[in-house]
């Protein structure tokens, strides 16, 4: 027979703390406390399995549940020496929900059950307090009427207000016994009218009604939404706890309160909470009366206070965690009503974990498991002033792409962002979407808000990399960049109007909110010394413990030395991805990049033809040689200018790239630096087609003769833009396909890498360059690019390599690359999974367009999570697994990492740990999260081994 009902009381319980699945958090806590000898009012828990059975059979329970419940009730009555609803000295019970994970306030609770017309007199007689008895009864009718019978609360409130008026009572407390009799009579009329039945007097009927109502509340819309928001599965069900009532409102020797064993906001080791004398639980939280600090209880009821301190300290030690508890003191006797691990801020989590370890309560490993990796984020980003945030209405919500608080004035273009910033203004860049070209605007903005794009859209990736608060894919924004207006929530805002965004929640607020800077960031950036920041010290101590445990290496995705420095400060030991294209957008480089692009096709053709002809010339004799020379002259005439433009532009870029790479090598102090050759389609570096057309038309309309040269140049640019236009650029001429068709670009980049490595190593700083070829789907692609890189290495480093140890490897980000990884591994010295593209191509989801339906997919249960955030283990993850297995089948020790956005996501990190990657690489600001998540992955694997 299935056990559905679990008793606790008299020093013994059927359950324990490890039965949260069956008893819920509250039920298992009550059982555990009972077993530990803590004074807990006795009762019983009806299991989550009963809840699930209730739903499975369309709202009916197996007969065993009723039988077991009746038996448990009889046991409870015997233990208490009182009967539920008895006329002389009744037992009253509370009926509360309690699921595995706490869902505060989402489900229903009924107190004072067992009250009826007869038992109310019994309570009055027994307590000698008629007002108390009547008030308890009227509260019960109200609660039962609302929760079980579904009667609108307002109907009861209406009667209560009428009674208060009639009896000239200012508050509920001013209503005397007689007035309360009147309220009870009024309430009973409400119940009869609304439910077409008199208020149930039979205590068992009341109990069954309350129990079923709690089960029903598992599926109320509020609870469903809460579960969605917190990733709690819908099939867990709730338990129901039926427990003997104790009263904190039986005069001045009674009280009730809530508390924490440590401060949940800061983590300080202080007894924290509130209480009220002569009150019931709900009075403490409802705000009707102002509760007192819990420490004041020491003066009012010293014995009970001391007992509470002793018990809660014991519970903290028992659970090895901060306890969030509820208690009631009934006529000087203390009862614990609940204990659970307390929720806390990121700051508190770190303080508490480190303190508890130093107090000997936790081992280092246990401490590491107490902190949610994601919570570390809260310590890194500016935060809104909590008071100001509370009262501010939310106008719209997008995807929380990069956490932190940003407030400033609205600007609609990157250039405007820079212009406003130069005037000392704080700006928030609001765009339909961002493109690499916006980087300068993004870098000066406090935050970035876009109407389209997903969690791996440009704005999101760059926002995270820069640690810039970003909200993306906020569909409710109606942006008119031309008119410089933003319509949202029925309001029209213009450039210069204030706006605030919360990158941790995705919320948009239409006013300026004060923020404060993160102390940890200040230390990492060298603006504050570590000794002056106790929280930084704790943060680093915990992460130091993580480093002792984790197997995965942690690297960062960083493109410029500034980011690399921050990454190193956060503990990254290596760069897993330098996207070289981001360097191309600097004001001093872009003109050369554009020149290179404009000349690339013809320039490269000229170079190739010349090379081939010159080779033939070497062998040629007599008339044949003269013929070839003629052809060479023709090629020179046709392509000479393009070749010159192309090679000059590349020559200009080479030293600039070299300087960038030197900076990266220096900031990494000898850790590996993976530099990827050019990846994005070339048109990304050119102006937009439509913009150019408008410009040309405007210039022509002005018809000034001076504009002729400009018009011609713009028209040439437009032709190039049109030539480069692609229908699907993400699957087009990008990645290694660029380097294959324009080998000079790869050559220039490889030369710059080796020149930088040589220059830095000559200064005595060790260097470990790793050249990475993107988007390889066929081994031949890698083979050819590798040949170019090797040639550049020989040219720059000489035949002996000049002491520079380098590797040449590839990204695995095309499904074909993953499934032919054994072929590819023959040519590669390392793999790095580009899980952004692998998700895009594996799933067939455009990473820039998917936000339009991915949110719908998640809301409607098609997908649990955004696959661009957490790796889709079963599908895309399988491609990773295959890639690892195949790669290592050829090279046993092949170094393998990941540099897609998933490298900074704790759940994905666990997956990468399990499939045996060597390292994860993520944006600099996620490095601490990755360090902790990697340690937890190792500890959890050990625990399950
Ligand atoms: C990837 O595809 O995962 C990757 C890291 O490259 P990018 O995001 O630059 O395409
Ligand atoms: Mg990619």
The Cα 508–Cα 387 span in angstroms is 17
In sequence order, the 6+-apart residues with CB closer than 8 A to the CB of 164 are 170, 171, 172, 174, 175
Which residues pair with residue 315 across a beta bridge?
Answer: none
Is residue 837 lining ligand 1, measured as CB closer than 6 Å?
A: yes
In sequence order, the 6+-apart residues with CB closer than 8 A to the CB of 337 are 40, 41, 243, 246, 281, 325, 326, 327, 328
For the chain, the farthest-separated pair of C-alpha atoms sits apart, in whole angstroms, at 129
Contact 832, 812 (CB under 8 A): yes
How far does the centroid of ligand 2 lie from the alpha carbon of residue 834, in Å? 5
From the candidates 458, 582, 642, 902, which is the catalytic residue? 458
In sequence order, the 6+-apart residues with CB closer than 8 A to the CB of 526 are 569
Residue 899 annotated among the catalytic residues of the structure: yes
The Cα 298–Cα 309 span in angstroms is 10
Residue given tokens 């690399």 in the structure block = 564
Burial class (CB in 10 A: 0-12, 13-18, 19+), 652: middle
Residue nearest to atom 10 of ligand 1 (CA): 837
Contact 414, 429 (CB under 8 A): yes
- Report which of 598, 807, 637 is spatially closest to residue 723, judged by C-alpha positions: 598
Residue nearest to atom 6 of ligand 1 (CA): 834
The Cα 738–Cα 684 span in angstroms is 13
How far does the centroid of ligand 1 lie from the alpha carbon of residue 921, in Å? 11
In sequence order, the 6+-apart residues with CB closer than 8 A to the CB of 263 are 269, 270, 272, 348
How far does the centroid of ligand 1 lie from the alpha carbon of residue 728, in Å? 16
Is residue 679 lining ligand 1, measured as CB closer than 6 Å?
A: yes
Is residue 559 lining ligand 1, measured as CB closer than 6 Å?
A: no
Indicate which atom in ligand 1 lies nearest the CA of residue 836: 3
Residue nearest to atom 8 of ligand 1 (CA): 836
Contact 190, 159 (CB under 8 A): yes
Burial class (CB in 10 A: 0-12, 13-18, 19+), 883: buried
Is residue 507 lining ligand 1, measured as CB closer than 6 Å?
A: no
**Tokens matching residue 585:** 């957008």
Run of H or E residues at 368:
helix 364-369
From the candidates 357, 474, 899, 922, which is the catalytic residue? 899
How far does the centroid of ligand 2 lie from the alpha carbon of residue 66, in Å? 59
Classify the phi-psi angles of 273: left when phi > 0, otherwise alpha if psi is within -120 to 50, otherwise beta.
left
Indicate which atom in ligand 1 lies nearest the CA of residue 679: 9
Q: What average pLDDT is seen over the chain?
A: 92
Report residue 260: phi and psi, to 5°: -130, 150
The Cα 542–Cα 364 span in angstroms is 8
Contact 917, 897 (CB under 8 A): yes
The Cα 233–Cα 865 span in angstroms is 13
Helix axes 906-914, 927-944, angle to 10 degrees: 50
How far does the centroid of ligand 2 lie from the alpha carbon of residue 690, in Å? 27
Residue nearest to atom 1 of ligand 1 (CA): 834
- Report which of 820, 827, 734, 833 is spatially closest to residue 788, judged by C-alpha positions: 827
SS3 175: coil
The Cα 742–Cα 731 span in angstroms is 17
Is residue 254 lining ligand 1, measured as CB closer than 6 Å?
A: no
What pLDDT is attached to residue 286? 47
Residue nearest to atom 3 of ligand 1 (CA): 834
Instruction: Report strand pairing: 895-898 vs 919-922.
Output: parallel
Q: List Cα–Cα distances, 570 to 512, 563, 567, 769, 842, in angstroms.
A: 30, 11, 5, 21, 32
Torsion of CA 424, 527, 367, 404, to 10 degrees: 10
Model confidence pLDDT, tens digit, residues 268-287: 899 988 899 988 776 665 44
Length of the chain in terms of residues written: 945
Residue 125 has a CB neighbour count (10 Å cut-off) of 14
- Report which of 259, 248, 275, 244 is spatially closest to residue 333, judged by C-alpha positions: 248
Report residue 703: phi and psi, to 5°: 55, 25
The Cα 747–Cα 456 span in angstroms is 29
Is residue 899 lining ligand 1, measured as CB closer than 6 Å?
A: yes
Taken in order 703, 709, 711, 712, the sign of the CA dihedral is positive
Indicate which atom in ligand 1 lies nearest the CA of residue 835: 3
What pLDDT is attached to residue 706? 66
Indicate which atom in ligand 1 lies nearest the CA of residue 899: 5
**Tokens matching residue 751:** 């030369």
Report residue 90: phi and psi, to 5°: -75, 150
**Tokens matching residue 917:** 């990657």
What pLDDT is attached to residue 287? 47
- Report which of 187, 57, 65 is spatially closest to residue 115, judged by C-alpha positions: 187
How far does the centroid of ligand 1 lie from the alpha carbon of residue 704, in Å? 46
Contact 24, 44 (CB under 8 A): no
Residue nearest to atom 9 of ligand 1 (CA): 579
**Tokens matching residue 308:** 């509470």
- Report which of 357, 195, 204 is spatially closest to residue 269, judged by C-alpha positions: 357
Residue given tokens 């949940």 in the structure block = 264
Residue given tokens 């980087």 in the structure block = 439
How far does the centroid of ligand 1 lie from the alpha carbon of residue 559, in Å? 13
Indicate which atom in ligand 1 lies nearest the CA of residue 902: 3
Run of H or E residues at 858:
helix 851-859
Q: Which of 460, 465, 577 for a ligand 1 pocket mutation test, highest count of atoms within 8 Å of Cβ?
A: 577
The Cα 396–Cα 489 span in angstroms is 7
Is residue 835 lining ligand 1, measured as CB closer than 6 Å?
A: yes
How far does the centroid of ligand 2 lie from the alpha carbon of residue 459, in Å? 15
Classify the phi-psi angles of 765: left when phi > 0, otherwise alpha if psi is within -120 to 50, otherwise beta.
beta
Taken in order 583, 584, 585, 589, the sign of the CA dihedral is positive
Is residue 577 lining ligand 1, measured as CB closer than 6 Å?
A: yes
pTM to 2 decimals?
0.81
Burial class (CB in 10 A: 0-12, 13-18, 19+), 300: middle
Residue nearest to atom 4 of ligand 1 (CA): 834
Spans of the chain, pLDDT less than 50: 286-287
How far does the centroid of ligand 2 lie from the alpha carbon of residue 756, in Å? 25
Indicate which atom in ligand 1 lies nearest the CA of residue 837: 2
Indicate which atom in ligand 1 lies nearest the CA of residue 579: 9
How far does the centroid of ligand 1 lie from the alpha carbon of residue 774, in Å? 8
What pLDDT is attached to residue 675? 98
**Tokens matching residue 577:** 């991805």
Residue 458 annotated among the catalytic residues of the structure: yes
- Helix count (H) and strand count (E) of the chain? 35, 32
The Cα 318–Cα 314 span in angstroms is 6
Q: What is the DSSP letter of 502?
A: E
The Cα 236–Cα 664 span in angstroms is 50
Q: What is the DSSP letter of 295?
A: G
- Report which of 264, 469, 271, 464 is spatially closest to residue 347, judged by C-alpha positions: 264
Q: Which of 772, 773, 811 for a ligand 1 pocket mutation test, highest count of atoms within 8 Å of Cβ?
A: 811
Is residue 813 lining ligand 1, measured as CB closer than 6 Å?
A: yes
C-alpha gyration radius of the chain = 35
Contact 841, 907 (CB under 8 A): no
Q: Which of 556, 583, 674, 837 for a ligand 1 pocket mutation test, highest count of atoms within 8 Å of Cβ?
A: 837
Is residue 579 lining ligand 1, measured as CB closer than 6 Å?
A: yes
């Amino acid at each position: 027979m299935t056990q559905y009902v679990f008793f606790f009381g008299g020093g013994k319980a059927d359950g324990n703390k490890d039965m949260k699945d069956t008893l819920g958090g509250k039920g298992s806590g009550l059982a555990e406390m009972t077993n530990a000898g803590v004074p807990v009012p006795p009762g019983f828990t009806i299991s989550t399995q009963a809840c699930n059975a209730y739903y499975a059979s369309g709202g009916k329970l197996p007969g065993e549940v009723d039988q077991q419940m009746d038996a448990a009730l009889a046991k409870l009555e015997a233990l208490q020496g009182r009967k539920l609803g008895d006329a002389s000295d009744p037992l009253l019970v509370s009926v509360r929900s309690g699921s595995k994970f706490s869902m505060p306030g989402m489900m229903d609770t009924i107190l004072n059950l067992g009250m009826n017309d007869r038992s109310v007199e019994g309570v009055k007689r027994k307590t000698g307090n008629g007002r108390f008895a009547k008030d308890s009864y009227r509260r019960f009718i109200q609660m039962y009427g609302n929760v079980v019978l579904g009667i609108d609360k307002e109907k009861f409130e209406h009667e209560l207000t009428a009674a208060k008026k009639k009896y000239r009572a200012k508050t509920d407390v001013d209503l005397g016994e007689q007035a309360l009799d009147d309220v009870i009579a009024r309430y009973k009329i409400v119940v009869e009218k609304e439910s077409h039945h008199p208020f149930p007097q039979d205590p068992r009927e009341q109990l069954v009604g309350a129990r079923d109502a709690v089960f029903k509340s598992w599926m109320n819309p509020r609870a469903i939404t809460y579960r969605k928001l917190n990733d709690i599965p819908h099939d867990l069900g709730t338990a129901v706890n039926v427990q003997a009532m104790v009263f904190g409102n039986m005069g001045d020797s009674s009280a009730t309160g809530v508390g924490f064993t440590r401060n949940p906001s800061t983590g300080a080791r202080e007894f924290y909470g509130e209480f009220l004398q002569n009150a019931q639980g709900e009075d403490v939280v409802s705000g009707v009366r102002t509760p007192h600090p819990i420490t004041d209880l020491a003066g009012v009821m010293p014995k009970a206070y001391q007992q509470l301190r002793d018990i809660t300290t014991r519970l903290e030690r028992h659970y090895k965690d901060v306890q969030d508890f509820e208690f009631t003191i009934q006529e000087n006797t203390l009862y614990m009503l609940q204990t659970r691990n307390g929720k806390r801020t990121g700051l508190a989590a770190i303080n508490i974990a480190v303190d508890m370890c130093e107090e000997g309560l936790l081992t280092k490993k246990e401490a590491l498991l107490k902190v949610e990796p994601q919570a570390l984020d809260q310590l890194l980003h500016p935060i809104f002033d909590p008071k100001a945030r509370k009262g501010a209405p939310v106008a719209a919500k997008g995807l929380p792409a990069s956490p932190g608080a940003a407030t400033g004035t609205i600007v609609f273009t990157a250039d405007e962002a820079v212009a406003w910033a130069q005037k000392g203004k704080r700006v928030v860049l609001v765009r339909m979407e961002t493109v690499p070209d916006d980087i300068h605007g993004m870098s000066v903005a406090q935050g970035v808000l876009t109407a389209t794009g997903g969690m791996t859209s440009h704005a999101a990736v760059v926002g995270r990399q820069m640690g810039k608060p970003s909200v993306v894919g906020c569909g409710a924004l109606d942006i008119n960049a031309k008119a410089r207006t933003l319509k949202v929530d029925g309001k029209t805002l213009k450039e210069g109007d204030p706006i605030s965004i919360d990158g941790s929640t995705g919320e948009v607020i239409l006013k300026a909110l004060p923020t404060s800077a993160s102390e940890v960031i200040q230390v990492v950036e060298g603006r504050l010394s570590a000794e002056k920041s106790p929280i930084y010290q704790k943060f680093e101590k915990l992460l130091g413990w993580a480093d002792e445990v984790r197997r995965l290496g942690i690297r960062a995705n960083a493109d410029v030395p500034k980011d690399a420095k921050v990454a190193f400060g956060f503990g990254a030991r290596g760069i897993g991805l330098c996207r070289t294209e981001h360097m191309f957008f600097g004001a001093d480089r872009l003109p050369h990049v554009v020149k290179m692009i404009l000349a690339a096709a013809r320039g490269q053709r000229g170079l190739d033809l010349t090379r081939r002809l010159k080779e033939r010339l070497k062998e040629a004799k007599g008339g044949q040689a003269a013929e070839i020379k003629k052809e060479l002259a023709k090629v020179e005439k046709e392509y000479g200018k393009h070749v010159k433009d192309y090679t000059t532009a590349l020559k200009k870029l080479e030293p600039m790239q070299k300087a960038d790479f030197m900076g990266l090598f220096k900031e990494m102090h000898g850790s590996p630096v993976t530099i990827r050759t050019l990846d994005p389609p070339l048109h990304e570096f050119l102006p937009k087609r439509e913009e150019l057309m408008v410009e040309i038309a405007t210039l022509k309309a002005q018809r000034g003769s001076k504009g002729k040269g400009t018009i011609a140049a713009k028209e040439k640019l437009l032709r190039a833009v049109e030539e480069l236009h692609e229908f699907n650029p993400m699957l087009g001429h990008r990645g290694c396909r660029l380097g294959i068709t324009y080998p000079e670009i790869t050559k220039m980049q490889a030369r710059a890498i080796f020149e930088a490595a040589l220059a830095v190593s000559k200064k005595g700083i060790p260097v470990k360059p790793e050249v990475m070829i993107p988007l390889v789907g066929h081994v031949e692609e890698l083979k050819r690019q590798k040949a170019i890189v090797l040639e550049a290495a020989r040219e720059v480093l000489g035949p002996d390599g000049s002491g520079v140890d380098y590797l040449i490897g590839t990204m695995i980000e095309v499904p074909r690359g993953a499934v032919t990884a054994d072929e590819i591994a023959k040519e590669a010295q390392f793999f790095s999974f580009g899980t952004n593209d692998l998700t895009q191509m594996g799933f067939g989801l455009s990473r820039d367009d998917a936000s339009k339906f991915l949110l719908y997919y998640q809301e409607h249960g098609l997908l649990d999570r955004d696959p661009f955030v957490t790796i889709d283990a079963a599908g895309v993850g399988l491609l990773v697994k295959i890639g690892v297995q195949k790669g290592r089948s050829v090279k046993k020790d092949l170094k393998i990492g990941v540099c897609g956005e998933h490298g900074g996501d704790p759940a994905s990190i666990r997956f990468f740990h399990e499939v045996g990657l060597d390292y994860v690489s993520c944006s600099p600001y996620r490095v601490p999260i990755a360090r902790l998540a990697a340690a937890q992955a190792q500890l959890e694997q050990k625990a399950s081994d």
